[in-house]
Structure 1
Amino acid sequence: MYARAVAATATAILGTAALLSPTSDALAGEVGEPTVVAHRGASAYAPENTLASIDKAAQLGFSWVENDVQRTRDGQLVVIHDDSLRRTTNVEDVFPGRAPWKVKDFTAAEIARLDAGGWFSPAYAGTRVPTLKQYMRRVEHNHEKLLLEVKNPKLYPGIEQQTVRLLGNEGWLDRRHLGRLIVQSFDADSVRTVHKLKPALTTAYLGTPSVAQLRQYARFSDLINPSYGSISARYVSAVHAVTGPHGRRLGVFAWTVDDAASAWKAAGYGVDGLITNRPDVVRTALSTG
């Protein structure tokens, strides 16, 4: 009787641990080449952060894509990098009197009217800024994996809760999807909030904390994702020596690596992932380096 009780308790504990531990494909601890992540989709070849860009990444054979999430005036989450619509849409033409054209000052319906592809190429004229819901459904359709950045969280109080809720509503917080999802931010408080909201999520801090700070970040972040120009082999080794919130060593995804020389250099440091606008270039460099 006692033995059965102990076995049942152990099974329950192991089951709980399995539910709480993310299974991100990018952090599986496999020996080999770094994971290649298409930055804002395959953004060298299609307009960034659009459905066309993640479709292009899929066509090129890449499963991991990265995006940026912000919020409209009426509370909708949209996928766009800048806090202004000016650089990647025709907002100045459509709404000429609304400078400085901040995302937070426009409704989702207004943003849906904008051309987010014509600036890149006439071939992409008419491409739209996707909502996060539209984006997640396309990622799912393409069988892709997502590195989602919470952008400018100080501008959008509560965006972490809203993002996690939407991910849950779209089915991305079950065990199968948690292996295909990482949430990151340049804001440590935002990463900490996401970790508290959903401990099973894999999280990442964007930046290069000092070696002395790594254990502090490891309380809520599974990865440290720095600019590749800010790191060294010694720094990557120091990150790898620290255990993260899910009992694995911290990972390192370096950005933004767009040429062969940079790819070889960063890979030589021992990074776990390379974030790039030109995933095909990086893949070729890694396979021939």
Structure 2
Amino acid sequence: MWVSTSFKKPFLLSLAIWFMISSLTYFFHPLQPFQSIAHRGASLYAPENTIASFQKAIDLGFDYIELDVRVSKDGHLVVIHDADVRRTTNGEGYIGDLTIQEIKMLDAGSWFSPEFSNEKVPLLEEILLQFGGKIGLLIEMKSPENQPEMTELLSSILKSYIEIGLKPSSLKVQSFNTNEMEKFHTITPNISTGLLLNEPLDLFHLDSYRSFASFLSIHHQLLTQPFIRYAKKYGFEIFSWTIKDAYVLQAMQRLGVHGIISDEDFRSTDTALYTFIPPFIYR
């Protein structure tokens, strides 16, 4: 199809002007403060979901550690991401098929580096004892629909630690499963609950979640300024995951998210190089 060059030039000029204006608008939008959340602990520096990675998060000054829990064969909450232990330990098998005694025999650090060869898969209660009150805890229930005892077990454990002094405000619980999060909120209303989301939502969904969720953890590529404005009107806090680049972190700050989940401490990174990269996907 033939297009007149007299049409092309004004169009290209308009496009260039739009690019400049939108970029300047973005660049001058201030970086907003946020809560820093260490993804499975400071997992760039130490093996994920271990005592070492959680301690590193504290050393680096993170506000929260994010961790995952699953139920062992003998009914304990184990801190591990995968259902199978193969990726992050020297063992084989599913958490649901292993007892705590069997799980504690595993090496959970050598896969990352020989210096972490003594790391073990921790129990949630070990984390609460060692880190509760020192840093915020964002706990993800992994596949609670396949472990029906998980929600009540987690609620019971957290309540017991609150009774001995752990502040409910230092705890947050999240999951991809809407029904289990609603159940958790019903039996543990004093702990903040949230939904993990990896697909776009409409306003109907936002309204339906207000009765039990106080925050939404959303994949960063799904976040836009209009969505965040609407979500804030509904009273939600917005957390973005998982940030692996400094320029994406700046984009999230400019969008005004409340929390940023990342593997590393970007405060040690020179982000000046990224100031002039316009992340159009977040417009």
TM-score, normalised relative to structure 2: 0.81
Q: 1:63 to 1:269 in 2, by over 3 A?
A: closer
Q: Give the C-alpha shift of residue 270 in structure 1.
A: 1.5
Write the mapping of 1:235-254 to structure 2, written as runs, cut at 5 A: 235-242=227-234, 249-254=235-240
Q: 1:193 to 1:284 in 2, by over 3 A?
A: farther
Q: Give the C-alpha shift of residue 173 in structure 1.
A: 8.4
Q: Which residue number in structure 2 is paired with residue 19 of structure 1?
A: none
Secondary structure in structure 2 of the residue aligned to 1:256: strand
**Structure 1 CA distance for aligned equivalents of residues 74 and 201 of structure 2:** 35
Pair 1:170-2:156 in alignment: no
Q: 1:213 to 1:283 in 2, by over 3 A?
A: farther
Q: Which residue number in structure 2 is paired with residue 16 of structure 1?
A: none
Pair 1:117-2:126 in alignment: no
**Structure 1 CA distance for aligned equivalents of residues 242 and 236 of structure 2:** 19
**Structure 2 CA distance for aligned equivalents of residues 160 and 40 of structure 1:** 20
**Structure 1 CA distance for aligned equivalents of residues 180 and 265 of structure 2:** 28
Q: Give the C-alpha shift of residue 32 in structure 1.
A: 4.7
Matched letter for residue 59 of structure 1: D
**Structure 2 CA distance for aligned equivalents of residues 50 and 228 of structure 1:** 25
Pair 1:107-2:99 in alignment: yes
Q: Give the C-alpha shift of residue 210 in structure 1.
A: 2.2
Q: Is the 8 A contact 1:203 1:220 kept in 2?
A: yes
Match of 2:140 among 132, 149, 153: 149
Q: Is the 8 A contact 1:36 1:282 kept in 2?
A: no
Q: Which has the larger radius of gyration?
A: 2
**Structure 2 CA distance for aligned equivalents of residues 165 and 122 of structure 1:** 36
**Structure 2 CA distance for aligned equivalents of residues 282 and 264 of structure 1:** 14
**Structure 2 CA distance for aligned equivalents of residues 180 and 148 of structure 1:** 11
Q: Give the C-alpha shift of residue 165 in structure 1.
A: 0.6
Q: 1:54 to 1:258 in 2, by over 3 A?
A: same
Can you give the 5+ residue segments of structure 2 that lack an aligned partner in the other structure?
A: 1-30, 276-283
**Structure 1 CA distance for aligned equivalents of residues 267 and 43 of structure 2:** 13
Pair 1:261-2:247 in alignment: yes
Q: Give the C-alpha shift of residue 64 in structure 1.
A: 0.9
Q: Give the C-alpha shift of residue 285 in structure 1.
A: 4.6
Q: Is the 8 A contact 1:69 1:132 kept in 2?
A: yes
Write the mapping of 1:1-289 to structure 2, written as runs, cut at 5 A: 32-92=32-92, 101-140=93-132, 143-171=134-162, 177-207=167-197, 208-242=200-234, 249-281=235-267, 285=271
Matched letter for residue 193 of structure 2: T
Q: Is the 8 A contact 1:80 1:129 kept in 2?
A: yes
| Equivalent pairs, count | 242
**Structure 1 CA distance for aligned equivalents of residues 54 and 163 of structure 2:** 17
Secondary structure in structure 1 of the residue aligned to 2:242: coil
Give deviations 1:92-125, integer Å, cap 9, x for gaps.
Answer: 4xxxxxxxx1110101110000000000000101
Q: Give the C-alpha shift of residue 138 in structure 1.
A: 1.6
**Structure 2 CA distance for aligned equivalents of residues 62 and 201 of structure 1:** 20
Q: Give the C-alpha shift of residue 170 in structure 1.
A: 2.2
Give deviations 1:225-249, integer Å, cap 9, x for gaps.
Answer: 100011111111111111xxxxxx1
Matched letter for residue 59 of structure 2: Q
